[in-house]
Structure formats: C-alpha cells, structure tokens
Chains A and B, each alone.
Chain A
C-alpha cells in the first residue's frame, strides 16, 4: 500500500475514533446542565436526591468520554502536521486561525471548568457549580461550532482567493458562515443529541434489566426518550435541507451516495444494490422510479447530475453509497423506537401512573439501541468525508498533493499502533460503561445536603 492510502486510513481511523466521544458529549453536557438545574430547583425537596443520582452517574460517563475525546483530539491536531503538512502550508491562512479559535475559545474552557464540575462539588457553591457545568456545555458546543465551520469550508469553500497556490482570506464572514455550515452544524448537534439520548436510554434500560436502577435512572430514561422523540423528526428535516444544499454545492457526492451513474431527469431512487465502479452500474438494484429526484430536488422530474459528469473528480462510490444507507436506516429505526417508547410512556402514565411503564421487551430494544447513535454518526461522517474525495478542500486542493512523503513502512507502523490502541480502548470503554452503570457500589448517590463551602466535611483531609 502507498503512503497516501495509509495516511488516509490513519487519519480516517483517528477522526472516526475521535468523533465517537464528542458525539456523546456535546449533548450529554446539556443533559447534565438540565439534571443540575432540576436538582437545584428541587433543593431540599424529595426530587433533589433523584436528580442528583442522575447527575452523578452521567457525570461519570461524561468524564470518561471527555478524557477519550481530549486525548484523541490532541492526536488529530498533531496529525495535521505529521501526515498532511501540505494542507496547512497551502490552506493554513484559513485552517490555522479556525483551529486556533477552537483551542482558545472552547478547549480551555471545557478542560478547565471540567475540573471544577467533576471534583469541585464540595468546594464551590451550588450556583458556581452550575456555572461550571454551563461553561463545559457551552465549551463543547463552541468547539463543535469552530470545527464544523472549518470542515464545512473544506466542503464548500468560499470567501478566499488563491495566490501562488496558497489560499488567502478575502472575507472571514464568508469563510466561517460558508454555504453548508448552518446545515452541517444543525445536523451534527442533532446527531449528538440523538447519540446521547439513545446512550442514556439504552444504559438506563440496561440498569432495569439488571435490577440496578434507582429513581435517578427513571428520570434519565424519561428525559432521554422525550428528547429523542422530538429530535429524530428535526434531524430528518435537517438532513433533508442538508441534502438540498449538497446537491447544489457538491453534486458529485450526491451522485455517488445515490448511485446515479448517468445524468437523468426523473431519477429513480435505489433502495438497495451493489455499486460496481468498474462497469459503472449498480448490480441487483431495487429501485423506485422518480423518487430520487423528488427527494433530492423536491421535484419528481428534476434533472440529477450523474457520476459521468465528474470523470476524475468523484469519490469512490461503494463506501459512500453504503454509509448513506446505514445512516438513513438507523435514523428510521430511531424514529420508530423513540416514538414507540414515548407513546407507551404517554399512555401508561395516563392509565396507571406506575413508575416504569416500559415492558421488559421494550427495555431490551432500548438496550440494543444503546450505541445506535454511534453507528449513524460514523456512517454520516464517512458519507461527508469520503464523499469529498479526491479533494481535501473541495475543488481547490487535492488530497494526493498534500500528504507527507514518509516511507510507507513508517506510516504503517504508527497506523498499526493506533489501531491496536483504539480497539483496546473501545472494548475497555464499552465494558466500563456497562460495568459502572450496573454496579450500585460504584455509584453512591451524593448527599446534596452535605458539605458546602466552609464546612469541614469533604472527604479525607
């Protein structure tokens, strides 16, 4: 294998592993703020303890995911330079400041206030502690803002000009708020909302199945199902708008993900099939006439550009085609599951008001869906990132021109190192999540009436 392919696999592995944790944490941070606010609001009353239990358990999940997100994020910032030096040499005038703004405005905020959020309960007031939780949540969201701004600019570059092969900025406003940015940001924030919701719902359901649930689990489960039931339709809407935008700015990506080989009017939707790039057709295709045009352009007879229009500038078809179907499939499943559960909650609560309205069957379904958000998010990232190939900056810089000329053996050795470590960490992460949510000894609920600043109680001195 050559250096270019190995470097691409390595970077792909890194961003794929990295995105798993922000995908949980961007939204989980806001769930925690909500739990915190409810706990503070119930101060001294019965509910406080239960919101505290929810806050306490999910803070631990947040801390663990945050650690993984940080260390893999550090890896990515170095890999720009170690593997893709050409990218910053050519596009550094744009990529550098946007990355810099992320670090300065968001990264420090999260990392610093996280210390207070996690370990400062007995050292600061309730209000300061809520403030720290808010700073962490705001920081993760701001971080997503800057990174997605840069990523969107790489997909739909505007606001720049090129002098001697180097990108120069004409308008920062146009660079940051480039055409695909609002859709991408909304799509990602909703993806995180769904990932966190299904994780919370899934692990809380698992707690019930293993008889390890407490009243906090009931609150977390109820909240996450309500959020998911609202967020899935919003996500479908955001995805549709994003699709329209992509059709306008990156028609080659659309052609690949729909498997449309030749430009046609009233294009059919391929539900299923095996793209064959050598023969430029999709084998065993199951198609619905005119539906692709209807979905993509909101007009059954609209013309959709095919891959034939981009002879040496379209992405590899099969991975984009398949990733897209996985993403949409999981999305539909999420819609069904979240509405089914929400409906049960709504009806049973009206009937009897029993504490756990879901049946064991439903709890098993939720448990099975625990990591569904990861699958959909990863598939979505692959559509968007592989779909940009062969460009690093769409239409401006080709990936092949930016790679560092290391010997393939060197890149292969680090790639193997990263892959082994990531595989180990993924197994450890999932195992520890399962373990710590179901072992009450691991999760003593805090006593909110306990130590406050100035009181000497607070652990071993």
Chain B
C-alpha cells in the first residue's frame, strides 16, 4: 500500500465517519433511550427525564448529521448506494427524529392538556428512530441484500437495538437523577439488561453466518486470539452493569455511573468489532473506501476544515457537558427560580 494522500485521506475520513457514528450512537443512544422509557414514568418523573436530556439532545443529534455529512463529503460514490438502498428506514427514522425533536419544545410550551399528546409523540418518535436505525444497521451489514434471511436479520436488529438504547437511557437516568426516579431507572435497567445481552450475542453470532467475509476475518487462528479482548471486555462490562443494578446500596453510594459507563464500553467494543469486520469496505464486498472517495483535491480541502474544527468541536462539547455536570434540575430559561410576572401590562 502506497503512503500518499490519495491512500490516507479516504482512511482518515472513514475514521472520522466511524467516530461520528460511534459518538452519535452513544450520545443520542441515551437520549433516545430516555424517550423510550418515558411512557413508564409518572407525569412528574417525565418532566425530570426530559430535563435531564434537554440541554444535550440538539448537539447529540448533530453527530448523526456529521456522520452522513462525511459520507456526502468524502464518499460521494457510496452515498447514493447506501442511502437509496435505505430509502424507507431513513424516511421512518427522519419522521421519528422530527416528531421527538419538536416534542421536546412543544411539550413545555403548549397548553397543559396537550402535554400528554407531546409526551406520547416523543416516545413514539424515539421508538421509530431507534428501530429504523436498527434496521439500517442490519441491512448495511448484509450489504443491502434483500433475501429472506437478510430481511430477518435486519428485522432482528430493528427489534433489539431499542433495548440497547433503553439500557443506555436507564444508565443515564441512574447517573443523573435521584430518589424514586433513580430507583425506577434501576428497575428498568434490570429488565432490559438481559434482552440487550442476548441481542448482542445473537448479532455477533449471526453476522459471521450472514457474511463469508466477516467469518473469515474472525475465525482464523492468529486473529481469533488477538480479537479475544473484544468479547472478554464486553462480558466484563456486562457483569459490572449487572452487579451494580442488583445492589441498591452500591447505586446509592454513588457508583451508579458504572451502569452507564459499562454500557458505553459494550457499544465501543461492538463498534471496534464492526470496524474490524468491514475494513476496508464502505459497502461490504462491493465498494472500498478508495473506490468511493471524492477526488483527492476535494479531500484535501475537506481535511483542512476537519483538522481545524474537529478538536474545537470536541473541546466545546466537553465544556458543555461540564457546565451541566451533576444531577438534572428542572429546566428554566431564566436565572434561578422564576418569579410571577410583574403587573406591568401596557394598554394601547
């Protein structure tokens, strides 16, 4: 392999795209998860749950835009194949993201008796987006094949990805809330942990069965040993999460974050496994990153912008999470407790 810009830049952008999608899945994963859990909470708890994600969801969703943006920017020859093969799930995901995105704002600004409607749309939108993303991941892994087994595989992931998001949402709430809601979040985590684990094992076993390429990558002798840390780390993280949610006193002692951190670790490991399975394809067995890439001139131009902005984005994203560190509070646009309005009504 030659080491020049034409070789390196597509790899660089593949890395950026992968990173953007990983960050997206983790960040929007927890807020989609909170949306999925919304119907199971009391009205007051719903408010706290939504406040816990209020300052973040916009920025979280932007990582998805970056993921698809890099696809458009760096791999114009792949975006048509990928996105037009996913036409319907993309449309469903978008409708879902629109519904939940607007519900955030509408639910607190509309008349009180409309709030229940927006809460419901928020949960429905979250479910649509989560399931559609699962379907997209599934059909992507089988290279957009449409035979019966491929469709079943995609449907399987569509049904199970929401459990993984719900797990992450529970972890987030355990970390960001207190009292009864936290206890409830622990209960939710107990319910979705095993379904999530089974789903992950199922996907991990089914993927090599579905794809010969993936099978050869994993089940050959020297690689298999080198790859062992991935499943081992997943199992350890799973155990840690299970351990904590069995013990309310551990959560109460301030170790609730372990549930969230372990789930994130599982996602990161799954992502590494996927990246290893796919490299250097952008569409498995069909299109490599180099075949799909834009012209080198354009990639250089994009690279300059990315190299400058990416660290800045990372820095202010971290800054924002620090500003809102700690337990979620009731959200208000003003400073502190809001006073009733001054009686300063002007009349024409």
Contact surface of A with B, Cβ cutoff 8 Å: 49, 52, 56, 59-60, 63-64, 66-68, 70-75, 77-78, 80-83, 85-86, 88-89, 92-97, 99-101, 103-105, 107-109, 111-116, 118-124, 166, 168-169, 172, 208-209, 211-215, 217-218, 355-356, 358-360, 363, 404, 406, 410, 414, 417-418, 421, 425, 428, 431-432, 435-436, 440-448, 450-452, 455, 457-461
B313 on the interface (CB 8 Å rule)?
yes
Q: How far is the CB of A169 from chain B (nearest CB, A)?
A: 6
Contact surface of B with A, Cβ cutoff 8 Å: 54-56, 58-59, 61-62, 64-66, 68-74, 76-77, 79-84, 86-88, 90-91, 94-95, 97-99, 101-102, 104-106, 109-111, 294-295, 297-298, 301-302, 305-306, 309-310, 313, 316-317, 320, 323-324, 327, 329-342, 344-348
Instruction: Please state if A59 and B58 are interface contacts (CB–CB under 8 Å).
Output: no
* A-B contact list, 27 entries, CB within 8 Å: A64-B106, A71-B94, A72-B98, A74-B65, A78-B90, A81-B84, A82-B87, A85-B84, A88-B72, A88-B79, A89-B79, A96-B294, A109-B316, A112-B59, A115-B59, A119-B332, A121-B333, A168-B295, A211-B345, A212-B345, A214-B342, A404-B87, A410-B88, A414-B88, A444-B341, A447-B336, A447-B338
- List A contacts of B330 (CB < 8 A): 459-460
Q: A120-B323, A448-B335, A460-B330 are in contact. Are A215 and B69 (CB under 8 A)?
A: no
Q: A96-B302, A119-B333, A421-B98 are in contact. Are A82 and B345 (CB under 8 A)?
A: no
A91 and B338 CA atoms in complex are apart in Å by: 52
Instruction: Please state if B98 and A97 are interface contacts (CB–CB under 8 Å).
Output: no
- List A contacts of B320 (CB < 8 A): 112-113, 115-116
A113 and B55 CA atoms in complex are apart in Å by: 9
Residue of B72, B99, B106, B337 near A99 (CB, 8 A) is B72
- List B contacts of A212 (CB < 8 A): 345
Instruction: Please state if B55 and A116 are interface contacts (CB–CB under 8 Å).
Output: yes
- List A contacts of B335 (CB < 8 A): 121-122, 446-448, 450-452, 458
Instruction: Please state if A97 and B73 are interface contacts (CB–CB under 8 Å).
Output: yes
Instruction: Please state if A100 and B336 are interface contacts (CB–CB under 8 Å).
Output: no
- List A contacts of B341 (CB < 8 A): 214, 440-441, 443-445
Output the nearest chain A residue to B299 by Cβ-Cβ distance.
Answer: A97
A68 and B316 CA atoms in complex are apart in Å by: 23
- List A contacts of B324 (CB < 8 A): 115, 119-120, 123
A440-B341, A446-B339 known, 13 other contacts, Cβ within 8 Å: A59-B333, A67-B104, A82-B83, A89-B80, A107-B62, A119-B331, A212-B345, A215-B342, A428-B106, A436-B109, A444-B338, A447-B335, A450-B334
Instruction: Please state if A445 and B334 are interface contacts (CB–CB under 8 Å).
Output: yes
A269 and B106 CA atoms in complex are apart in Å by: 46
- List A contacts of B56 (CB < 8 A): 115
- List A contacts of B58 (CB < 8 A): 66-67, 70, 111-112, 114-115
Q: A85-B80, A116-B55, A461-B329 are in contact. Are A406 and B102 (CB under 8 A)?
A: no
Residue of B61, B97, B309, B346 near A104 (CB, 8 A) is B309
Secondary structure at the A interface, as helix, strand, loop or mixed, is helix
A88 and B347 CA atoms in complex are apart in Å by: 56
- List B contacts of A421 (CB < 8 A): 95, 98-99
- List A contacts of B72 (CB < 8 A): 77, 80-81, 88, 92, 95-96, 99-100
Q: A64-B105, A96-B302, A446-B335 are in contact. Are A81 and B346 (CB under 8 A)?
A: no
- List B contacts of A63 (CB < 8 A): 105, 333
Instruction: Please state if B302 and A215 are interface contacts (CB–CB under 8 Å).
Output: no
- List A contacts of B342 (CB < 8 A): 49, 214-215, 445
